[in-house]
Amino acid sequence: MTTTSAPAVLVEGLHKRYGDKRAVDGLDLRVEHGEIVAVLGPNGAGKTTTVETLEGFRRADAGHVRVLGEDPAHGDRRWRSRLGVVLQDNHDMAEATVREIVHHVAGFYPAPRDPEAVIDAVGLREKRSARTRALSGGQRRRLDVALGVVGDPELLFLDEPTTGFDPQARHEFWGLVKGLRDEGTTILLTTHYLEEAEHLADRVVVVADGRVVAQGAPDTLGGRRARRARVRWTEDGTPREEVTDTPTALVARLTSRLAGADGEVAGLQVLRPTLEDVYLGLIDAAHDAAGTTHEETPR
Protein backbone atom coordinates (compact mmCIF):
# COMPACT_ATOMS: atom_id res chain seq x y z
CA MET A 1 0.00 0.00 0.00
CA THR A 2 1.12 3.56 -0.73
CA THR A 3 1.85 5.74 2.29
CA THR A 4 1.39 9.48 1.84
CA SER A 5 0.41 12.49 3.90
CA ALA A 6 -2.14 13.54 1.25
CA PRO A 7 -5.66 12.18 1.76
CA ALA A 8 -6.90 9.25 -0.31
CA VAL A 9 -9.82 11.39 -1.51
CA LEU A 10 -9.99 15.18 -1.58
CA VAL A 11 -12.99 17.04 -3.00
CA GLU A 12 -13.36 20.81 -2.75
CA GLY A 13 -16.31 22.72 -4.19
CA LEU A 14 -17.56 19.98 -6.52
CA HIS A 15 -20.33 21.08 -8.89
CA LYS A 16 -22.23 19.01 -11.45
CA ARG A 17 -25.38 19.91 -13.38
CA TYR A 18 -27.65 17.95 -15.69
CA GLY A 19 -29.51 20.59 -17.65
CA ASP A 20 -31.29 22.78 -15.11
CA LYS A 21 -30.79 20.31 -12.25
CA ARG A 22 -27.93 20.84 -9.82
CA ALA A 23 -26.94 17.28 -8.89
CA VAL A 24 -23.92 18.38 -6.83
CA ASP A 25 -23.74 21.91 -5.48
CA GLY A 26 -20.38 22.78 -3.91
CA LEU A 27 -19.69 19.48 -2.16
CA ASP A 28 -16.56 19.03 -0.03
CA LEU A 29 -15.24 15.62 1.02
CA ARG A 30 -12.03 14.29 2.53
CA VAL A 31 -11.18 10.62 3.11
CA GLU A 32 -7.95 9.71 4.88
CA HIS A 33 -5.93 6.61 4.09
CA GLY A 34 -7.14 3.60 6.05
CA GLU A 35 -10.59 5.04 6.82
CA ILE A 36 -13.99 3.55 6.14
CA VAL A 37 -16.28 6.45 5.27
CA ALA A 38 -20.00 5.91 4.71
CA VAL A 39 -21.90 8.40 2.57
CA LEU A 40 -25.61 8.63 3.42
CA GLY A 41 -28.37 10.61 1.78
CA PRO A 42 -31.80 10.33 0.16
CA ASN A 43 -32.38 9.67 -3.53
CA GLY A 44 -31.27 12.65 -5.59
CA ALA A 45 -28.88 13.93 -2.93
CA GLY A 46 -25.87 13.73 -5.25
CA LYS A 47 -24.21 10.61 -3.83
CA THR A 48 -24.04 8.63 -7.06
CA THR A 49 -22.83 11.56 -9.15
CA THR A 50 -20.13 12.32 -6.59
CA VAL A 51 -18.90 8.73 -6.41
CA GLU A 52 -18.95 8.30 -10.19
CA THR A 53 -16.86 11.47 -10.48
CA LEU A 54 -14.35 10.05 -8.00
CA GLU A 55 -14.21 6.82 -10.00
CA GLY A 56 -13.53 8.72 -13.21
CA PHE A 57 -16.84 7.87 -14.90
CA ARG A 58 -18.10 11.47 -14.87
CA ARG A 59 -16.41 14.85 -15.20
CA ALA A 60 -17.00 17.66 -12.76
CA ASP A 61 -18.29 20.98 -14.04
CA ALA A 62 -16.25 22.78 -11.40
CA GLY A 63 -14.23 22.04 -8.29
CA HIS A 64 -11.01 20.35 -7.23
CA VAL A 65 -11.00 16.53 -7.14
CA ARG A 66 -8.06 14.28 -6.31
CA VAL A 67 -8.21 10.52 -5.78
CA LEU A 68 -4.98 8.81 -4.74
CA GLY A 69 -3.27 12.03 -5.78
CA GLU A 70 -4.67 12.09 -9.32
CA ASP A 71 -7.46 13.89 -11.13
CA PRO A 72 -9.93 11.04 -11.88
CA ALA A 73 -10.90 12.67 -15.17
CA HIS A 74 -7.38 11.93 -16.43
CA GLY A 75 -6.61 8.71 -14.53
CA ASP A 76 -4.55 6.22 -16.50
CA ARG A 77 -4.47 2.43 -16.36
CA ARG A 78 -1.90 2.38 -13.55
CA TRP A 79 -4.12 4.67 -11.46
CA ARG A 80 -7.20 2.55 -12.14
CA SER A 81 -5.35 -0.58 -11.04
CA ARG A 82 -5.15 0.94 -7.55
CA LEU A 83 -8.96 1.20 -7.30
CA GLY A 84 -11.63 -1.36 -6.63
CA VAL A 85 -15.21 -0.63 -7.66
CA VAL A 86 -18.34 -2.53 -6.66
CA LEU A 87 -21.13 -1.13 -8.81
CA GLN A 88 -24.82 -1.24 -7.90
CA ASP A 89 -25.67 -3.32 -10.98
CA ASN A 90 -23.33 -5.47 -13.04
CA HIS A 91 -24.49 -8.28 -15.33
CA ASP A 92 -21.51 -8.84 -17.63
CA MET A 93 -20.16 -12.27 -18.65
CA ALA A 94 -23.39 -14.11 -17.86
CA GLU A 95 -22.12 -17.39 -19.36
CA ALA A 96 -18.84 -17.46 -17.40
CA THR A 97 -18.56 -19.41 -14.16
CA VAL A 98 -17.76 -17.75 -10.87
CA ARG A 99 -14.25 -19.21 -10.92
CA GLU A 100 -13.65 -18.11 -14.52
CA ILE A 101 -14.75 -14.52 -14.07
CA VAL A 102 -12.89 -13.94 -10.78
CA HIS A 103 -9.65 -15.40 -12.20
CA HIS A 104 -10.16 -13.40 -15.41
CA VAL A 105 -10.59 -10.09 -13.59
CA ALA A 106 -7.65 -10.87 -11.28
CA GLY A 107 -5.47 -10.98 -14.40
CA PHE A 108 -6.08 -7.27 -15.01
CA TYR A 109 -4.14 -6.28 -11.86
CA PRO A 110 -0.40 -6.28 -11.17
CA ALA A 111 -0.63 -7.84 -7.69
CA PRO A 112 -4.10 -9.35 -7.15
CA ARG A 113 -5.38 -11.27 -4.15
CA ASP A 114 -5.65 -15.05 -4.49
CA PRO A 115 -8.87 -15.49 -6.54
CA GLU A 116 -9.79 -18.73 -4.79
CA ALA A 117 -9.40 -17.09 -1.37
CA VAL A 118 -11.60 -14.19 -2.53
CA ILE A 119 -14.30 -16.59 -3.72
CA ASP A 120 -14.25 -18.24 -0.30
CA ALA A 121 -14.28 -14.89 1.50
CA VAL A 122 -17.51 -13.75 -0.20
CA GLY A 123 -19.24 -17.06 0.49
CA LEU A 124 -19.32 -18.51 -3.04
CA ARG A 125 -17.23 -21.64 -2.51
CA GLU A 126 -20.19 -23.91 -3.32
CA LYS A 127 -21.01 -21.85 -6.43
CA ARG A 128 -17.56 -21.53 -7.93
CA SER A 129 -18.54 -23.73 -10.92
CA ALA A 130 -21.95 -22.12 -11.44
CA ARG A 131 -22.54 -19.81 -14.39
CA THR A 132 -23.13 -16.20 -13.49
CA ARG A 133 -26.61 -16.19 -15.04
CA ALA A 134 -27.65 -19.02 -12.68
CA LEU A 135 -26.81 -17.12 -9.49
CA SER A 136 -29.48 -15.65 -7.24
CA GLY A 137 -29.57 -11.91 -6.70
CA GLY A 138 -27.68 -12.16 -3.40
CA GLN A 139 -25.09 -14.52 -4.89
CA ARG A 140 -24.61 -12.19 -7.85
CA ARG A 141 -24.01 -9.36 -5.40
CA ARG A 142 -21.34 -11.43 -3.63
CA LEU A 143 -19.67 -11.98 -7.00
CA ASP A 144 -19.71 -8.22 -7.64
CA VAL A 145 -17.91 -7.74 -4.32
CA ALA A 146 -15.37 -10.42 -5.22
CA LEU A 147 -14.59 -8.61 -8.48
CA GLY A 148 -14.17 -5.35 -6.61
CA VAL A 149 -11.65 -6.69 -4.09
CA VAL A 150 -9.69 -9.28 -6.11
CA GLY A 151 -7.26 -6.61 -7.35
CA ASP A 152 -6.23 -5.83 -3.75
CA PRO A 153 -7.09 -2.13 -4.20
CA GLU A 154 -5.72 0.76 -2.17
CA LEU A 155 -9.12 2.45 -2.39
CA LEU A 156 -12.36 0.50 -2.63
CA PHE A 157 -15.71 2.00 -3.67
CA LEU A 158 -18.70 0.04 -2.38
CA ASP A 159 -22.05 1.14 -3.78
CA GLU A 160 -24.90 -0.54 -1.85
CA PRO A 161 -22.73 -3.66 -1.46
CA THR A 162 -25.08 -5.84 0.63
CA THR A 163 -28.32 -5.33 -1.29
CA GLY A 164 -29.91 -8.78 -1.52
CA PHE A 165 -27.81 -10.29 1.27
CA ASP A 166 -29.53 -12.19 4.05
CA PRO A 167 -28.60 -11.08 7.61
CA GLN A 168 -25.94 -13.79 8.05
CA ALA A 169 -24.31 -12.98 4.71
CA ARG A 170 -24.39 -9.27 5.56
CA HIS A 171 -22.55 -9.83 8.83
CA GLU A 172 -19.99 -12.07 7.09
CA PHE A 173 -19.43 -9.34 4.50
CA TRP A 174 -18.92 -6.77 7.25
CA GLY A 175 -16.14 -8.97 8.59
CA LEU A 176 -14.54 -9.00 5.13
CA VAL A 177 -14.71 -5.20 4.88
CA LYS A 178 -13.18 -4.73 8.32
CA GLY A 179 -10.43 -7.17 7.39
CA LEU A 180 -9.65 -5.14 4.26
CA ARG A 181 -9.48 -1.95 6.34
CA ASP A 182 -7.17 -3.65 8.85
CA GLU A 183 -4.88 -4.55 5.93
CA GLY A 184 -4.72 -0.88 4.90
CA THR A 185 -7.48 -0.55 2.29
CA THR A 186 -9.35 2.75 2.28
CA ILE A 187 -13.09 2.27 1.73
CA LEU A 188 -15.79 4.67 0.57
CA LEU A 189 -19.20 3.14 1.15
CA THR A 190 -22.66 4.23 0.08
CA THR A 191 -25.48 2.37 1.79
CA HIS A 192 -29.15 2.62 2.72
CA TYR A 193 -28.66 0.40 5.75
CA LEU A 194 -28.08 2.63 8.77
CA GLU A 195 -26.98 -0.39 10.80
CA GLU A 196 -24.32 -1.08 8.18
CA ALA A 197 -22.95 2.46 8.36
CA GLU A 198 -22.99 2.38 12.16
CA HIS A 199 -21.21 -0.98 12.27
CA LEU A 200 -18.55 -0.32 9.64
CA ALA A 201 -17.81 3.38 9.30
CA ASP A 202 -15.12 5.33 11.08
CA ARG A 203 -16.90 8.42 9.81
CA VAL A 204 -20.33 9.13 8.33
CA VAL A 205 -20.96 11.87 5.77
CA VAL A 206 -24.57 12.99 5.24
CA VAL A 207 -25.37 14.53 1.85
CA ALA A 208 -28.53 16.44 0.95
CA ASP A 209 -29.29 18.63 -2.06
CA GLY A 210 -25.78 18.19 -3.43
CA ARG A 211 -23.93 19.32 -0.31
CA VAL A 212 -22.50 17.77 2.84
CA VAL A 213 -24.80 18.75 5.71
CA ALA A 214 -23.03 16.85 8.52
CA GLN A 215 -20.17 14.47 9.15
CA GLY A 216 -18.58 12.72 12.08
CA ALA A 217 -18.19 9.41 13.84
CA PRO A 218 -21.46 7.45 13.97
CA ASP A 219 -21.79 8.01 17.73
CA THR A 220 -21.16 11.78 17.53
CA LEU A 221 -22.89 12.69 14.25
CA GLY A 222 -25.05 15.79 14.56
CA GLY A 223 -23.34 17.08 17.67
CA ARG A 224 -24.43 17.11 21.29
CA ARG A 225 -27.83 18.67 20.69
CA ALA A 226 -28.87 15.92 18.26
CA ARG A 227 -27.77 13.32 20.83
CA ARG A 228 -29.86 14.56 23.76
CA ALA A 229 -31.77 11.84 25.62
CA ARG A 230 -35.54 11.73 25.98
CA VAL A 231 -36.77 10.72 29.46
CA ARG A 232 -40.38 9.57 29.84
CA TRP A 233 -42.32 8.76 32.99
CA THR A 234 -45.86 8.82 34.43
CA GLU A 235 -46.75 11.24 37.20
CA ASP A 236 -50.21 11.45 38.82
CA GLY A 237 -51.52 9.32 35.98
CA THR A 238 -50.23 11.74 33.32
CA PRO A 239 -47.46 10.86 30.83
CA ARG A 240 -44.47 13.22 31.11
CA GLU A 241 -41.42 13.73 28.90
CA GLU A 242 -38.26 15.80 29.07
CA VAL A 243 -35.32 16.13 26.66
CA THR A 244 -32.06 16.50 28.54
CA ASP A 245 -28.27 16.42 28.30
CA THR A 246 -28.11 14.82 31.77
CA PRO A 247 -30.54 11.89 31.86
CA THR A 248 -28.84 10.21 34.83
CA ALA A 249 -29.29 13.29 37.01
CA LEU A 250 -32.92 13.62 35.92
CA VAL A 251 -33.64 9.97 36.70
CA ALA A 252 -32.04 10.40 40.14
CA ARG A 253 -34.32 13.37 40.88
CA LEU A 254 -37.40 11.53 39.66
CA THR A 255 -36.52 8.47 41.74
CA SER A 256 -36.07 10.48 44.94
CA ARG A 257 -39.39 12.28 44.35
CA LEU A 258 -41.66 9.70 42.74
CA ALA A 259 -40.40 6.17 43.46
CA GLY A 260 -43.01 3.90 44.99
CA ALA A 261 -42.55 1.30 47.67
CA ASP A 262 -40.85 -0.97 45.16
CA GLY A 263 -38.33 1.77 44.29
CA GLU A 264 -39.68 2.13 40.74
CA VAL A 265 -40.86 5.24 38.89
CA ALA A 266 -44.02 4.51 36.89
CA GLY A 267 -43.45 4.30 33.13
CA LEU A 268 -39.81 5.38 33.35
CA GLN A 269 -37.93 5.20 30.04
CA VAL A 270 -34.63 6.71 28.90
CA LEU A 271 -34.47 6.88 25.09
CA ARG A 272 -31.28 7.85 23.31
CA PRO A 273 -31.39 8.84 19.63
CA THR A 274 -30.25 6.18 17.16
CA LEU A 275 -28.15 6.96 14.10
CA GLU A 276 -31.39 6.77 12.12
CA ASP A 277 -33.04 9.39 14.36
CA VAL A 278 -30.06 11.72 13.95
CA TYR A 279 -29.87 11.10 10.19
CA LEU A 280 -33.55 11.81 9.61
CA GLY A 281 -33.34 14.97 11.71
CA LEU A 282 -30.40 16.22 9.64
CA ILE A 283 -32.15 15.46 6.34
CA ASP A 284 -35.39 17.11 7.48
CA ALA A 285 -33.49 20.22 8.57
CA ALA A 286 -31.59 20.38 5.27
CA HIS A 287 -34.75 20.02 3.21
CA ASP A 288 -36.64 22.53 5.35
CA ALA A 289 -33.85 25.01 4.67
CA ALA A 290 -33.99 24.28 0.94
CA GLY A 291 -37.79 24.10 0.76
CA THR A 292 -37.77 20.49 -0.48
CA THR A 293 -38.86 17.10 0.84
CA HIS A 294 -36.90 13.87 0.98
CA GLU A 295 -38.02 10.79 -0.92
CA GLU A 296 -36.27 7.98 0.85
CA THR A 297 -35.60 6.66 4.33
CA PRO A 298 -32.55 4.39 4.76
CA ARG A 299 -33.35 1.06 6.31
Is residue 121 domain-shared with residue 266, that is, in the same domain?
Answer: no
Question: Could you give the 3-state DSSP secondary structure of residue 182?
Answer: helix
Express each pLDDT in 13-69 by its tens digit: 999 999 989 999 999 999 999 999 999 999 889 999 999 999 999 999 999 999 999
pLDDT at 89: 61
Overall average pLDDT of the 149-178 stretch? 86
pLDDT at 5: 75
Residue 2 belongs to some domain of the structure: no
Write down which residue in 186, 212, 238 finishes a domain. 212
Is residue 28 domain-shared with residue 54, that is, in the same domain?
Answer: yes
Residue 143 belongs to some domain of the structure: yes
Is residue 227 domain-shared with residue 193, that is, in the same domain?
Answer: no
The tally of domains found in the chain comes to: 2
Give strand pairing partners of 36.
187
Overall average pLDDT of the 124-150 stretch? 89
Write down which residue in 212, 233, 258 finishes a domain. 212
Is residue 260 domain-shared with residue 199, that is, in the same domain?
Answer: no
pLDDT at 296: 47
Confidence check: pLDDT of 1 > 50:
no
Query: Residue 290: what are its φ and ψ, rounded to 5°?
Result: -90, -10
Confidence check: pLDDT of 165 > 80:
no
Is residue 84 domain-shared with residue 161, that is, in the same domain?
Answer: yes
Going from the C-alpha of 18 to that of each of 11, 15, 99, 128, the distances in angstroms are: 19, 10, 40, 41
CA angle 133, 192, 176 (to 5 degrees): 65
| pLDDT over 70 percentage in the chain | 94
Residue 1 belongs to some domain of the structure: no
Q: What is the mean pLDDT of the chain?
A: 88
pLDDT at 299: 45
pLDDT at 215: 93
Is residue 207 domain-shared with residue 241, that is, in the same domain?
Answer: no
Is residue 181 domain-shared with residue 103, that is, in the same domain?
Answer: yes
Is residue 135 domain-shared with residue 270, that is, in the same domain?
Answer: no
Is residue 235 domain-shared with residue 189, that is, in the same domain?
Answer: no
Residue 127 belongs to some domain of the structure: yes
Is residue 177 domain-shared with residue 228, that is, in the same domain?
Answer: no
| CA–CA distance, 46 with 7 (Å, rounded to integer) | 21
Confidence check: pLDDT of 295 > 50:
no
Residues 6 or more apart whose CB falls under 8 angstroms from that of 3 comprise 33
Is residue 189 domain-shared with residue 230, that is, in the same domain?
Answer: no
- Per the model's pLDDT, the better-predicted residue between 101 and 260 turns out to be 101
Residue 88 belongs to some domain of the structure: yes
Q: Out of 18-22, 84-88, 268-272, pick the least confident.
A: 84-88
Binning pLDDT at 50, 70 and 90, where does residue 88 land?
Answer: low
- Per the model's pLDDT, the better-predicted residue between 91 and 211 turns out to be 211
Overall average pLDDT of the 124-135 stretch? 92
Going from the C-alpha of 35 to that of each of 70, 83, 272, the distances in angstroms are: 19, 15, 27
CATH code of the domain covering residue 59: 3.40.50.300
State the residue range of the domain holding 173.
9-212
Confidence check: pLDDT of 294 > 50:
no
In the sheet that 21-31 helps form, which strands lie side by side, from edge to edge? Answer: 21-31, 9-18, 62-67
Going from the C-alpha of 137 to that of each of 69, 134, 157, 170, the distances in angstroms are: 36, 9, 20, 14
